[in-house]
Amino acid sequence: MTITKQANKYLLCWASCVLGALALIAWLNWFINPFSIFDAPAVAGINANKPNYVAHLRLTHPYRIENLQPECTIFGTSRAGRGLAPDQPALAGLGCYNVAVPSVSMYEIRRYFQHVQAIKPQKLVILSLDLRVFHPEPDTSGAFSESRLAVTADGQNQFNLFSAKLPDLASSLLSVSGLQASLSTVRKQSWGKDTLAANGFWQPLTDDFDHIKTFRFYTRSYVQQFKEMQQNIDGFRKSLDDFRQLLRQAYVEGVEVKLIIHPAHAWYWQTLWLSDLWPRFEAMQQEIVNINAEEALRAGHQPNQIWDFSGSYGPALEAVPAQPSQLMHWFWEPAHYKKTLGYLVMDRVMGVRSGNAEFADFGARLDSGGLPEYQAKLRGLQESYATNYPADAAAIGTIVKQAATEMDRTAAKVDP
pTM of the model: 0.94
C-alpha–C-alpha distance, residues 415 and 412, integer Å = 5
- Mean pLDDT for 148-167 is 94
- pLDDT-derived band at 3, boundaries 50, 70, 90: low
Q: Residue 369 above 90 pLDDT? A: no
% of the chain exceeding 90 in pLDDT: 83
Residue 16 — very low, low, confident or very high, per pLDDT cuts 50/70/90?
confident
- Tell me what pLDDT residue 18 has: 87
Identify the residue with better confidence: 15 or 205.
205
With a cut of 90, say whether residue 298 has pLDDT above it: yes
Average pLDDT of span 41-50 = 95
| pLDDT class of 416 with cuts at 50, 70, 90 | low
Nearest in space to 299 (alpha carbons), one of 376, 373, 246: 246
Residue 11, pLDDT score: 82
Q: Name the nearest CA neighbour of 177 among 19, 29, 24, 17.
A: 29
Q: Is 167 exposed, middle or buried (0-12, 13-18, 19+ CB in 10 A)?
A: middle
Q: Are 62 and 119 in contact (CB under 8 A)?
A: no
DSSP labels for 348-391? Answer: HHHTPPPS-GGGTT-SEESTTS-HHHHHHHHHHHHHTHHHHSHH
Higher pLDDT, 1 or 328: 328
The single-letter code of the amino acid at 310 is: S
- Which pLDDT tens digit goes with each residue over 252-297? 999 999 999 999 999 999 999 999 999 999 999 999 999 999 999 9
Q: Check: CB of residue 37 under 8 Å from CB of residue 121.
A: no
Q: Label the pairing between strands 202-204 and 194-196.
A: antiparallel
Coarse DSSP helix, strand, coil percentages of the chain, rounded to the nearest 5 percent: 55, 10, 35
Averaged confidence pLDDT in the chain: 93
Q: Quickly state the pLDDT bin for 50 (edges 50, 70, 90).
A: very high
Cα 215 from Cα 156, distance rounded (Å): 45
Residues in the chain: 416
pLDDT at 170 over 90: yes
- Mean pLDDT: which of 157-166, 189-198, 239-248 is highest? 239-248
d(CA 38, CA 30): 7
Arithmetic mean of pLDDT, 199-222: 94
